[in-house]
Amino acid sequence: MNKQKLAGSEIQRRLTQIELATVSALRALQMDIDRDDGMASATVLKKARAALR
């Protein structure tokens, strides 16, 4: 386990990434359910996971 301390700005950046990934995933799932055109939820989730790495 990495025991580095995070600066407040780094914590905020990571929280923003998590929020963006969550909203993107929920929107993609809604679009799949409603059969809206757009990016498939699997693609959105893959991109969100990559952004969080």
Q: Quote the DSSP letter at residue 38.
A: S
How many domains, the chain? 1
Does 39 reside within a domain? Answer: yes
The model carries a pTM of 0.54
Does 11 reside within a domain? Answer: no
Rounded distance between C-alpha atoms, residue 10 and residue 14, angstroms: 6
Does 42 reside within a domain? Answer: yes
Q: What is the pLDDT of residue 50?
A: 80
Residues of the chain with pLDDT under 70: 1-3, 37-38, 41
Rounded distance between C-alpha atoms, residue 36 and residue 33, angstroms: 8
Supply the range of the domain harboring residue 48.
Answer: 18-52
Phi, psi of 2 (to 5 degrees): -80, 125
Report the chain's mean pLDDT, rounded to a whole number.
79
Does 48 reside within a domain? Answer: yes
